[in-house]
Structure 1
């Protein structure tokens, strides 16, 4: 017989060393967490949200320890219980390795191994469940208010939105625990002593009544697993209400008549099976009883699935509309409620085709605020004329409305933020990046249709220091310490002066005077902060940092808000506002969302899908001191109500919102786009019409051009318009999006989200007559492309060292007609700054264009000849009122009168001078255009004689 090699059991010294290493690792890792907790506590306190930090910490750690203890107790308790049964029997096993028997004293190794495994699984379980604290908060703090019952199972909506997600998490955790307990029980049974002989695995795993006592632990674990399965099956019934099907969503006829009762029966049978397995474990009744406990539930589940498939195939499909009609109605009603489509007001819109239908005389405000500046073109231009230094950037363009000297005007704003990554390499050091270059500076503001004679934006706010051309508009705090590009920490109130803005050959310096940030304090506190922020090599030893210096962290506004309220979903496009007090504030839109609304259809929102959405919160972030304010916009939202119960001081009522913030609220693109997609299908409320998709709408599409000049079709984006809504009085800032019938190009209607006053948050849908075809954006684009003069000129421009940039085609309701507007820019290959060269306007039966908006309007409404080279007279305007009073005056005469002879002569002289200059520079193509313009003016003057 070959020698037996004995593998020794672990000695006490290695075990002690292992414990010591584990303790050191825990201190090292836990020490970092303690530092983070300390700095987070300081940060939340600096913002006035200490209560949020405290309660969140209690919730997270409470859930961690609860699930850690429960997981560890289940796993290690199972081991101790089953091991206690094996006392008196060794666990020495022999295995063959290359023909050589080896003996392992499994009993000596097993306890520390199971202990380590249980601790690891408990840590993972506790960490995972603590991260789900918002789900448990919604359940624990659910508002005790009545809500509508779902029509199938009769549960209140609050159950689906607030309770069900938590129950599903618990059921999932319980199922995993049951599976691990069963695996542990089976593993321990496998390792029970058979002496030192090589085990017969076939004998070990052969279920026979001759060894009932050895299987008692396994039977108990099976009972536990059956209870978990029963709970999962019972909860899966509610998932049927969130099911997605080809025609509609939610419960179907088969679900209601087969799956729901069948799954309930399966859950009951599994629960009875658990009782049978428990009885088998207690009475040593043998494996046949365990099979009797498991098989009925499994077979019944299979039978339910087969029966459901048969009913669906032979009963439902041949009579689908009749059978599914009540459930289609449930889906329509639920989806309309989930996305607030049931509150959309529906009105007819005549969609007239003539100039008279456009009613220019009575829609002056709308025409005066048509957006001619394309956002990308404006951003490119501002980067050339307003960045001033290379380390500034404009991350985006925002559209808003302001009351400027008594005139409500639609404007575009851009924030000048500082990017330390763009600093010269020689200036990239700790002092510059953390102490000196700490903030951006100022904003630009221009009317949406304001152009200078050189084709640049007419700036109402601009330059450094900030200059205003409107007396009522000023910026008192232009510094931007918190923004969209502020992704690094900075230290303020130091002995170093901060760079404010460039001023000639020198720089203007400043020091932070706000109350934002964490006070660094003494050397110990500073060192702790430095350790946590990864700045330990510099901050504690800097002579520039004083005890009253402050750390500004989490300066990115999205990160800042989500650190306070991670349970909110934020709109990806925050926008800047200029308050009446001259301060700059960001406004962010906060959503509450869920994917468990019964019978409602799911739609994509970012990287996830939802079937319930509310824009419940507006958040303001001060760009100077980082103050964050949460205002409730939907008091009826149950999800937000649960969070308000746990954090009562965080959310202010809408009535307490500052007037300067309320004046700039807007109906967000994210909500309007999602509602538009849902409304395109769910405006059909008749189940038969819905079933046949007889009137399916989709958001309109338009042609876009990429950086290589390649055009493609894509869905139109919502467009903010300052206008008089049909049938309404007074100007409103609305967000509109047109619809086309599915797979068609003509328009069928449009939806408008309202932003002002008591109408904020409401929407209106306008339906076109179905007896008339109304051209859609793609058809208007085709008409522009087919115009010989425009097409020829665009081809010419694209061949002369330049390329054409076409702005978005805007669809603007005016009167009872639709006005289409598109701006066309010319951009030299060697210059990143586009220049407006052509404005195209169209009605259903007319296309007009001109080199200025006034010229295009004259051609459209007066019937004057459209021209590529015609330049309309531009009224003189002083810088003080450029873009406001002057711009309004220039548009007051929407239907232009006779040509001004003096203005024509002045324009002819200007064209001649430009022709001579361009010829001298060798720009013959542009010179030819100026010559054509000069000829046109001379011809008109000759005709007037």
Structure 2
């Protein structure tokens, strides 16, 4: 028996030692990584918080659980000694373990395993515990309990967790104690009932008292959870919640507390029925006041007068929701639409016109891939839009050329290639968003490898070791040269000269990382030197989340070419909470409440070569970021510390803008009656892309806002009424200093029709000359599709601009072939934006509504001739137009041929002077 115990002890010791070694090696590798980034204090704070959380809750559970088990074991001793069980009773086998110290080891192992589980469960709350200790004030009081919002964001989650954890602990202890008493045969049947020894009964009653104490606290906390009710006309406490549910929870709390006292003081009562009476009162309150009474109030008090009763609570919801999403800072301005702009107005807004984004990011990335990936192992993950000051303020599209392992051919994906040779991407590609070459390609101002540029950009360090697709660890500064970039038929190789990654000198560190990545080749390879470094967490989103997992991150990081010639990633980070009182969550489902507070408080900057990560606080007034600054004083930097050349590239994030737009569509209604009836609900309009409808995505544009003096970079989106297609407003976020972050909604006249995106799309599709031309292109082994439609405010009018792309079924290279411009009732499709604008706003100031250039020139000739032949040509033209509307291409072609014959004869018979006055025919 002793030998078996020793074997068990050795096995347990080996398992524990292996577990601790695994933890140490993993955390030690991360500690080296954090120290390399100068964030060792951040790592220490997180680790200490996790360790303290585990130890405290582990010890509390072990002490409580083992104390009650020991008490049960002692009180069951007398019964255990007098047990006489039938031979077929399953307890016969278990009772053999009660001899000697076997039962001690069984309960000890069970206690430790459960303690580990309960401690690990608490570790997940480490961030909440830190926020609880360093809580900040919001300076906003909710109107029901008059507590600061900081109580709900920082304090209440901890109280709720501790209560649920406590109930779980008491519940498991009660089950274990009952099992112990059952094995000890404490419960003996007497007649129709059970006989339980007094000490055992007192023990079970006291444990029940502990459990009911937790129940009473949970009902007390339910009072505060009322602020997240979704039962009323608006999110948050309703009339029923305040006048029925809250009093009911108070009653349950008081009754539960009374039952707790009765259970703890049970030995002072001779008649234990008083506890049963108290439980009966508790059940009565639960059924009568928590379940039935609120329903009666809802049905007979609220429903007949719902708007009147719910108005104060709707106002509370509107106020605090607007506060939580920053909607209260939105400025609303009128935008009177007059549709009276001329070509002179176009010229006065030339900077806006020259930055209209004709290159949609979706076809553009395909063009980049075909033209600029150079070698098969390069890849462009995404194309983002930014602006640079060249000879003028220019909006550009930009993408980094990365080198993901997945692009390397399977046969070449050896360990040396994937971890030592192909370590990084190289360079960027950039083009102005509105410039088109004669062949329909973008005008690449930065291109090729090594990159060349036609604009004043310094391109010094183009290696991309950290990016969106850098997912595997790499070893640099080894004896194996790294592939840098291709040059003709040869390759250029390099050795990493930066400080990114962790030095992997020495056998111990090699062992650490071989263990961490489960890759023994790190330990065995002969390529490493004392100067070698290992880079991991290279994916920029993973990198951000590893350093600051308590922040949320935007889905679209973007690359910037710095004035120092290096490449940087800028990534927007958010502070969020789902505990802001009275605020409507972004999403609601049965399993999880979505966040109901968000603030873009941090701009994260990552150096693509060194991997340095900096967290700049752009909104120091956010109480959540103030709390994190207290917790991690060495992590965050003031925004003033950001280099000026990077400040010029910050932009309002699209994810936040989408969320704010979604909420503003409802919460622009501040009148409770309008809100209750949802009379003025707005929505994000649909747009057509590649012949499919989808929600319109906000777009960046350089333009001059009304009442401003110069163009600026903004993010904007049109809005339409619910279930209608006409435009009702447009919303924008300003991106340039000193107005960064300003939100403006320009409301449109409600008594006038302003076309929305789908209405304009329908009008374009109904133009015979445009639809026929697109249909013809699509029948010649090519795919024709329209890009994103942009609505451009010019003075008090709107231009609708939509690019048209042609893509061969074989080459898969989208070419920008036409630009469609719509203004008022006029639509033009031309080769360039400028041609389309000139066609709409001709020199006389009037608009020309026809769109087929060949036919218009012919019509002009016919109109200048009074001869019979001219009238005959006009007749053929009219017939051709009719055939065109009917999609009768044979008849259309026949009439054009006859018109050509008539015009040819007229040309031969005309005089030289008449020839000189004719405009050249456009082919």
Instruction: Please indicate, yes or no, whether the TM-score normalized by the shorter chain is above 0.5.
Output: yes
For the Cα contact (< 8 Å) 1:516–1:552, is it kept in 2? yes
Aligned equivalents of 2:128, 2:194: Cα separation in 1: 43
Tell me if 1:521 matches 2:505. Answer: yes
Find the counterpart in structure 2 of residue 795 from structure 1.
775
Aligned pairs (5 A) from 1:840-855? 840-855=820-835
Aligned equivalents of 1:719, 1:367: Cα separation in 2: 15
Find the counterpart in structure 2 of residue 169 from structure 1.
161
User: CA 1:588–1:314 in structure 2 vs 1: closer, same or farther (change >3 Å)?
Assistant: same
Instruction: Give how far 1:786 is off.
Output: 0.8
User: CA 1:809–1:247 in structure 2 vs 1: closer, same or farther (change >3 Å)?
Assistant: farther
Aligned equivalents of 2:246, 2:740: Cα separation in 1: 41
Aligned with 1:944 (options 903, 919, 923): 919
Find the counterpart in structure 1 of residue 869 from structure 2.
none
User: CA 1:226–1:830 in structure 2 vs 1: closer, same or farther (change >3 Å)?
Assistant: same
Tell me if 1:633 matches 2:627. Answer: no
Tell me if 1:178 matches 2:161. Answer: no
Aligned pairs (5 A) from 1:726-765? 726-765=706-745
Aligned pairs (5 A) from 1:442-453? 442-453=427-438
For the Cα contact (< 8 Å) 1:49–1:650, is it kept in 2? yes
For the Cα contact (< 8 Å) 2:578–2:593, is it kept in 1? no
User: Partner of 1:88: helix, strand, or coil?
Assistant: helix
User: Partner of 1:572: helix, strand, or coil?
Assistant: coil
Q: Residue deviations 1:749-779, cap 9 Å, x none?
A: 0110111102111200110011112111111
Aligned equivalents of 2:468, 2:593: Cα separation in 1: 23
Aligned equivalents of 1:215, 1:357: Cα separation in 2: 94
Instruction: Give how far 1:868 is off.
Output: 6.0
For the Cα contact (< 8 Å) 2:138–2:623, is it kept in 1? no
Aligned equivalents of 1:805, 1:630: Cα separation in 2: 41
Find the counterpart in structure 2 of residue 914 from structure 1.
none
Aligned pairs (5 A) from 1:474-489? 474-489=458-473
Tell me if 1:378 matches 2:364. Answer: yes
User: CA 1:844–1:170 in structure 2 vs 1: closer, same or farther (change >3 Å)?
Assistant: farther
Tell me if 1:410 matches 2:395. Answer: yes
Q: Residue deviations 1:277-328, cap 9 Å, x none?
A: 1111x34746524423433323312222211111011100110000000000
Instruction: Give how far 1:98 is off.
Output: 9.8
Q: Residue deviations 1:664-707, cap 9 Å, x none?
A: 111111111111111111111111111111111111111233xx
Tell me if 1:150 matches 2:142. Answer: yes
Tell me if 1:257 matches 2:243. Answer: yes
Find the counterpart in structure 1 of residue 105 from structure 2.
112
Find the counterpart in structure 2 of residue 494 from structure 1.
478
Aligned equivalents of 1:93, 1:794: Cα separation in 2: 94
Aligned equivalents of 1:832, 1:252: Cα separation in 2: 57
Find the counterpart in structure 2 of residue 907 from structure 1.
none
Instruction: Give how far 1:842 is off.
Output: 1.0
User: Partner of 2:387: helix, strand, or coil?
Assistant: strand
Deviates more, 1:740-749 or 1:352-361: 352-361
Aligned with 1:456 (options 421, 441, 446): 441
User: Partner of 1:271: helix, strand, or coil?
Assistant: helix
Tell me if 1:613 matches 2:598. Answer: yes
Find the counterpart in structure 1 of residue 861 from structure 2.
none
Instruction: Give how far 1:203 is off.
Output: 5.2
Aligned equivalents of 1:798, 1:848: Cα separation in 2: 19
Aligned equivalents of 1:838, 1:93: Cα separation in 2: 96
Instruction: Give how far 1:647 is off.
Output: 0.6
For the Cα contact (< 8 Å) 1:212–1:287, is it kept in 2? no
Find the counterpart in structure 1 of residue 871 from structure 2.
none
Q: Residue deviations 1:344-385, cap 9 Å, x none?
A: 011001133344499313211111110000111110001010
What TM-score, normalized by structure 1, do the two folds share? 0.87
Aligned pairs (5 A) from 1:292-371? 292-304=277-289, 305-356=291-342, 359-371=345-357
Find the counterpart in structure 2 of residue 585 from structure 1.
568
User: CA 1:139–1:221 in structure 2 vs 1: closer, same or farther (change >3 Å)?
Assistant: same
For the Cα contact (< 8 Å) 1:93–1:103, is it kept in 2? no
Instruction: Give how far 1:832 is off.
Output: 1.3
For the Cα contact (< 8 Å) 1:146–1:156, is it kept in 2? yes
Aligned equivalents of 1:443, 1:400: Cα separation in 2: 13
Aligned equivalents of 2:91, 2:147: Cα separation in 1: 65
Q: Residue deviations 1:535-556, cap 9 Å, x none?
A: 22x2233232110111111100
User: CA 1:848–1:113 in structure 2 vs 1: closer, same or farther (change >3 Å)?
Assistant: same
Tell me if 1:770 matches 2:762. Answer: no
Q: Which runs of 5+ in 1 are unaligned?
A: 1-10, 706-710, 873-924
User: CA 1:125–1:352 in structure 2 vs 1: closer, same or farther (change >3 Å)?
Assistant: farther
Tell me if 1:719 matches 2:699. Answer: yes
Find the counterpart in structure 2 of residue 134 from structure 1.
127
Find the counterpart in structure 2 of residue 39 from structure 1.
29
Aligned with 2:544 (options 561, 564, 587): 561
User: CA 1:745–1:117 in structure 2 vs 1: closer, same or farther (change >3 Å)?
Assistant: same
User: CA 1:399–1:245 in structure 2 vs 1: closer, same or farther (change >3 Å)?
Assistant: farther
Instruction: Give how far 1:644 is off.
Output: 0.8
Instruction: Give how far 1:942 is off.
Output: 7.2
Q: Which runs of 5+ in 2 are unaligned?
A: 857-889, 908-914
Instruction: Give how far 1:99 is off.
Output: 11
User: CA 1:789–1:276 in structure 2 vs 1: closer, same or farther (change >3 Å)?
Assistant: same
Q: Residue deviations 1:720-741, cap 9 Å, x none?
A: 1111111222221111111111
Over aligned residue pairs, what C-alpha RMSD do you find? 2.7
Aligned equivalents of 2:616, 2:191: Cα separation in 1: 66
User: Partner of 2:700: helix, strand, or coil?
Assistant: strand
For the Cα contact (< 8 Å) 1:859–1:866, is it kept in 2? no
Deviates more, 1:565-574 or 1:449-458: 449-458
For the Cα contact (< 8 Å) 1:354–1:843, is it kept in 2? no
Tell me if 1:687 matches 2:677. Answer: no
Aligned equivalents of 1:93, 1:823: Cα separation in 2: 91
Instruction: Give how far 1:806 is off.
Output: 1.7
Aligned with 2:608 (options 623, 626, 647): 623
What TM-score, normalized by structure 2, do the two folds share? 0.89
Find the counterpart in structure 2 of residue 187 from structure 1.
179
User: Partner of 2:95: helix, strand, or coil?
Assistant: strand
For the Cα contact (< 8 Å) 1:277–1:293, is it kept in 2? no
For the Cα contact (< 8 Å) 1:681–1:697, is it kept in 2? yes
For the Cα contact (< 8 Å) 1:595–1:611, is it kept in 2? yes
Aligned equivalents of 1:338, 1:564: Cα separation in 2: 26
Instruction: Give how far 1:855 is off.
Output: 1.7
Aligned equivalents of 2:220, 2:806: Cα separation in 1: 64
Give the count of matched residue pairs: 861
Tell me if 1:392 matches 2:378. Answer: yes
Find the counterpart in structure 2 of residue 834 from structure 1.
814
Aligned equivalents of 2:689, 2:640: Cα separation in 1: 42
Find the counterpart in structure 2 of residue 84 from structure 1.
74
User: Partner of 2:821: helix, strand, or coil?
Assistant: strand
User: CA 1:97–1:849 in structure 2 vs 1: closer, same or farther (change >3 Å)?
Assistant: farther
Tell me if 1:818 matches 2:798. Answer: yes
Find the counterpart in structure 2 of residue 857 from structure 1.
837
Q: Residue deviations 1:502-554, cap 9 Å, x none?
A: 10110011111111110111223222222222222x22332321101111111
For the Cα contact (< 8 Å) 1:383–1:393, is it kept in 2? yes
User: Partner of 1:744: helix, strand, or coil?
Assistant: coil
Instruction: Give how far 1:88 is off.
Output: 3.5
Tell me if 1:576 matches 2:551. Answer: no
User: CA 1:870–1:519 in structure 2 vs 1: closer, same or farther (change >3 Å)?
Assistant: farther
Find the counterpart in structure 2 of residue 909 from structure 1.
none
User: Partner of 2:438: helix, strand, or coil?
Assistant: coil
Aligned equivalents of 1:539, 1:817: Cα separation in 2: 64
User: CA 1:580–1:22 in structure 2 vs 1: closer, same or farther (change >3 Å)?
Assistant: same
Aligned pairs (5 A) from 1:529-540? 529-536=513-520, 538-540=521-523
